[in-house]
Amino acid sequence: YMALAEKGAANAKKPLIKTLHQSIVSGCYVGFAGLLSLSIAGNLGVAATSAPGLQKMVFAALFPVNLLLILNSGGQLFTGNTATVPM
């Protein structure tokens, strides 16, 4: 609990411009991963018709790439901030 509270306090003390920049970059990562997932899973062609679950599995495997990018870059997302900052 204390680790989350300390992280929330550190996020609340960050300058506005830094938080805004990290939020914009994180939003771009979410969009890039969504586009990656849709373009690859949507273009499976015959493989998707012969195995109906394959398209959903490929999409589900590729979409979490955005979370990895956000974690590695130190980005800010609204959901993570609402979980830690109010504490």
Tell me the per-residue pLDDT of 27-56, one tens digit each, with 9 for 90 and over.
999 999 899 999 999 899 888 889 889 999
Helix runs in 1-87, H state only: 2-13, 16-42, 46-50, 52-62, 65-73, 78-84
pTM beyond 0.85: the answer is no
- What is the chain's alpha carbon radius of gyration, rounded to the nearest angstrom? 17
pLDDT surpassing 80 at residue 87: no
